[in-house]
């Protein structure tokens, strides 16, 4: 074998790889992040090979001990990653052979880097999904508790970002929570399709050794071996599914961020975020900026980009493995890191939101947010809804002219627009009356919000049971 040619596949080559091509095709600078999963997969593979008689017990033990030592070297930062050895798989295998000699070369029996890398990524994704799930749960819990505490806090609800009807802050928070509940389900659903074992597919067609893929699947905690070897080495739709979950989640976090940014402004003045989640300006001494939600909103873009990147990566690939697939890792790693960090930031920040209740209340009082309640009142007294709409429209026009909210007008003033109006109208024109009247499942009434928070807690604990 030529000295400068790659030791793992150099046999048929007559000249060394071009130095630039070696760097261009290498992935070790980024895929070394899969080292732990690579070793975990190799230990399971060697264990299975010894059970079916392809390796002796001694060979298996030498391999497992060698790999365990290598794991320690990597963790202590002592491992010397080599670009000429291309990727994480060949780096670890070469080191194993350094350490234990010829037996190290037997590890790759009945396996290919194609099924190896697919296995490593799935193990990695499964680990990361479980970490992300912990943060997502923590965020949902914090949101539900804040919603429960703020079940009576009144704020304006908006459509078109114009004051529409009063709602409770707790109700608004539970709207966010519902988005996250669906994201949580999507994450767990994605996990099911991640948790399938490619190993045993070898390069693409399977292997001639008497392997037992059920054993390997069980050792690695996979639900089952992948059905088809061609699909097993080439499928990356689990990665697309994850980034699609991640994109939808980021879209939700970005919507929440946008509201947090608006609410902390002097113009809205609905909430305060503790100083530890904000930063100042180097030129304007008065500034306190909501950097954390702004950055989460900004990071949404890169996650959408990774989804597009992965979809495009896969769209023209013929079966089975193609080198294109090496490009799946960086977008996945970045999507995982971004989502995990954004969830952590939100899980820490949301319970610390300080609502400015007076300011929210005052904003709800302005903007005729109980106009619909007045119309519903007239309808209950026998007026047709269209006529009621007209009567209330005239009352609002009068309020705009006189700078009075509906609840600030006297009975006589209101009666100018309909003689049907009586003293009891003031029960529905108050903000408290307005929210309390929306007293049905999914409505904003404080007691409904408390009941919804309780149901959300129960739903969350049921979902945990499946994980």
Annotate 230-260 with three-state secondary structure: HHHHHCCHHHHHHHHHHHHHHHHHHHHHHHH
For helices 113-149 and 237-264, angle between their N-to-C axes, nearest 10 degrees: 30
Alpha-carbon span 163 to 417, nearest angstrom: 23
Cβ proximity to ligand ARG: between 181 and 240 the closer is: 240
Closest CB 313 distance from ligand ARG, rounded Å: 11
Q: Which of 2, 82, 265, 281 is catalytic?
A: 281
Q: Which of 14, 160, 282, 410 is catalytic?
A: 160
Alpha-carbon span 17 to 21, nearest angstrom: 7
| Three-state DSSP state, 415 | helix
Cβ proximity to ligand ARG: between 145 and 231 the closer is: 231
Closest CB 84 distance from ligand ARG, rounded Å: 14
Cβ proximity to ligand ARG: between 238 and 263 the closer is: 238
Q: Is 160 a residue of the active site?
A: yes
Closest CB 111 distance from ligand ARG, rounded Å: 11
- Which helix H or strand E contains 106, and what residues bound it? none
Cβ proximity to ligand ARG: between 35 and 453 the closer is: 35
- Phi and psi based region of residue 345 (left: phi greater than 0; alpha: psi -120 to 50; beta: remaining): alpha
What number of other Cβ atoms are within 10 A of residue 93's Cβ? 24
Cα dihedral 171→174→175→181 (10° resolution): -160
133 in Cβ contact with 466 (< 8 Å): no
Closest Cα partner for 36 from 119, 129, 131? 119
Q: Could you write out the DSSP letters of every residue in 114-154?
A: HHHHHHHHHHHHHHHHHHHHHHHHHHHHHHHHHHHHTTT-E
Q: Pull the structure tokens for residue 340.
A: 């995990």
Measured CA to CA in angstroms, residue 174 lies from 269, 270, 388 at distances of 21, 17, 32
Cβ proximity to ligand ARG: between 204 and 459 the closer is: 204
The site for ligand ARG (CB under 6 A) is made up of 27, 31, 87, 113-114, 117, 323, 325-326
For helices 88-100 and 57-75, angle between their N-to-C axes, nearest 10 degrees: 120
Cβ proximity to ligand ARG: between 119 and 338 the closer is: 119
Closest CB 117 distance from ligand ARG, rounded Å: 4
| Strand bridging mode 271-272 / 354-355 | antiparallel
Cβ proximity to ligand ARG: between 126 and 288 the closer is: 126
Burial of 209 per CB tally in 10 Å (0-12, 13-18, 19+):
middle
Q: Is 89 a residue of the active site?
A: no
Q: Which residue numbers are catalytic?
A: 160, 281
């Amino acid at each position: 074998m030529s000295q400068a040619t790659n030791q793992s596949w150099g046999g048929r080559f007559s000249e060394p790889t071009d130095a630039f091509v070696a760097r261009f095709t290498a992935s070790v600078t980024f895929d070394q992040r899969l080292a732990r999963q690579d070793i975990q997969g190799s230990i399971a593979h060697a264990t299975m090979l010894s059970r079916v008689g392809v390796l002796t017990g001694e060979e298996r033990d030498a391999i497992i001990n060698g790999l365990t030592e290598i794991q320690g070297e990597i963790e202590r930062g002592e491992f010397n990653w080599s670009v000429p050895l291309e990727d994480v798989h060949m780096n670890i295998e070469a080191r194993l052979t350094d350490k234990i000699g010829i037996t190290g070369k037997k590890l790759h029996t009945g396996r290919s880097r194609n099924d190896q890398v697919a296995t490593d990524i799935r193990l990695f994704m499964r680990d990361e999904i479980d970490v992300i799930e912990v943060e997502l749960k923590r965020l949902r819990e914090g949101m539900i508790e804040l919603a429960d505490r703020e079940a009576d806090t009144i704020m304006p609800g908006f459509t078109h970002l114009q004051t529409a009807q009063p709602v409770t802050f707790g109700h608004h928070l539970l709207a966010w929570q519902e988005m996250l509940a669906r994201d949580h389900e999507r994450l767990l659903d994605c996990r099911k399709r991640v948790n399938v074992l490619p190993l045993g597919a070898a390069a693409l067609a399977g292997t001639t050794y008497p392997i037992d893929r059920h054993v390997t699947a069980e050792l690695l905690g996979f639900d089952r071996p992948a059905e088809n070897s061609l699909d097993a080495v080439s499928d990356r739709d689990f990665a697309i599914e994850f980034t699609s979950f991640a994109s939808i989640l980021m879209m939700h976090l970005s919507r929440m961020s946008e509201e947090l940014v608006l609410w902390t402004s002097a113009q809205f003045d609905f909430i305060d975020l503790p100083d530890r989640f904000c930063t100042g300006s180097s030129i304007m001494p008065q500034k306190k900026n909501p950097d954390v939600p702004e950055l989460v909103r900004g990071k949404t873009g890169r996650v959408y980009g990774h989804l597009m990147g992965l979809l495009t990566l896969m769209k023209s690939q013929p079966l089975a493995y193609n080198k294109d697939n090496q490009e799946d890792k960086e977008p996945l790693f970045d999507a995982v890191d971004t989502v995990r960090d954004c969830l952590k930031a939100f899980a820490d920040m949301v319970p610390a939101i300080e609502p400015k209740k007076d300011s929210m209340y005052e904003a709800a009082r302005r903007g005729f947010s109980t106009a619909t309640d007045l119309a519903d009142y007239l309808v209950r007294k026998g007026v047709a809804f269209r006529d009621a709409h007209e009567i209330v429209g005239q009352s609002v026009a009068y309020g705009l002219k006189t700078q009075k909210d509906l609840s600030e007008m006297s009975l006589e003033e209101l009666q100018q627009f309909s003689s049907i109006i009586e003293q009891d109208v003031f029960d529905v024109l108050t903000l408290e009356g307005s929210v309390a009247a929306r007293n049905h499942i999914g409505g904003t009434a404080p007691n409904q919000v408390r009941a919804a928070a309780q149901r959300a807690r129960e739903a969350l604990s049921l979902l945990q049971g499946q994980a």
